[in-house]
Chains A and B, each alone.
Chain A
Amino acid sequence: KNEVEQSPQNLTAQEGEFITINCSYSVGISALHWLQQHPGGGIVSLFMLSSGKKKHGRLIATINIQEKHSSLHITASHPRDSAVYICAVGAQKLVFGQGTRLTINP
């Protein structure tokens, strides 16, 4: 079993839909990261959180330390949100999930 599991692996939705991507982990952590990777490979950090909830624009990330679970939500999804979303846990050394490929159709 992987230390970091994401679900779903692939998600296709229509523009405007509310999106939820889940991440479960089995190791002790000091922080959880949500990353976005567009075609071409570059990775952008979206959130780093160790408790509670963070919001940035249409993106919301939550974490439940007791349940070792985090969710990334996208409200009013748009085709430009299409990307791979990766959950990673740890401090300086990160363990990555396999990613969730999100496709938003117009």
Chain B
Amino acid sequence: EAGVAQSPRYKIIEKRQSVAFWCNPISGHATLYWYQQILGQGPKLLIQFQNNGVVDDSQLPKDRFSAERLKGVDSTLKIQPAKLEDSAVYLCASSRTGVEHNEQFFGPGTRLTVL
């Protein structure tokens, strides 16, 4: 089966600009995650969707970050306006739902550099 797809793979922007990332999860996976991974650290969950509903967005900086999954399939993550500290790899992952011990499948990530 096809894996989790993300685009773009790399993005360089200046601070205060806007940027959007796209994720297409594995077909049939109801749960979708966006993670932020700053260099040298483990990933940090930004937001978790179950179908098109938000399960957890407690660590999403809502003043500048937004995410949606309107049809319960693919998702976009937006940053507006970007700050220098937003430079990171943004990872999307998906998993089946309703079963404990769900394995998460990760996409290749989008590396964002904010200048």
Q: Decide whether A and B are members of one complex.
A: yes
Q: A: which residues have CB within 8 A of B?
A: 4, 30-31, 33, 35, 40-45, 48, 50, 86, 88, 91-94, 96-99
* CB-based contact B56/A41 at 8 Å: no
Q: Which residues from B are CB-within-8-Å of A88? A: 42
Q: How many A-B residue pairs have CB under 8 A?
A: 60
> CB-nearest residue of chain B relative to A101?
B40
Decide: A92 and B108 in contact? CB cutoff 8 A: no
| Residue of B whose beta carbon sits closest to that of A96 | B42
Contact B45 A43 (CB under 8 A): no
- Among candidates A40, A41, A43, A50, residue contacting B101 with C-beta atoms closer than 8 Å: A50
CB of B43 within 8 A of CB of A96, answer yes
Per CB-CB distance, the 9 closest pairs between chain A and chain B, nearest first, are A96-B42, A41-B109, A43-B106, A42-B108, A41-B89, A31-B101, A98-B42, A96-B43, A48-B103
Which chain A residues lie closer than 8 Å to B109 at the CB level?
A: 40-43
Given A45-B104, A91-B102: A96 and B44 interface contact (C-beta under 8 Å): yes
Which residue of B is nearest A42, CB measured?
A: B108
How many B residues are at the interface, by size bracket? Answer: 20 to 34
Contact with A along B82-98 (1 / 0, CB 8 A): 00000001010101010
Identify which of B41, B56, B101, B111 contacts A93 (C-beta below 8 A).
B56
Q: Is B107 an interface residue (CB 8 A)?
A: yes
A30 to B101 Cα, complex, angstroms: 7
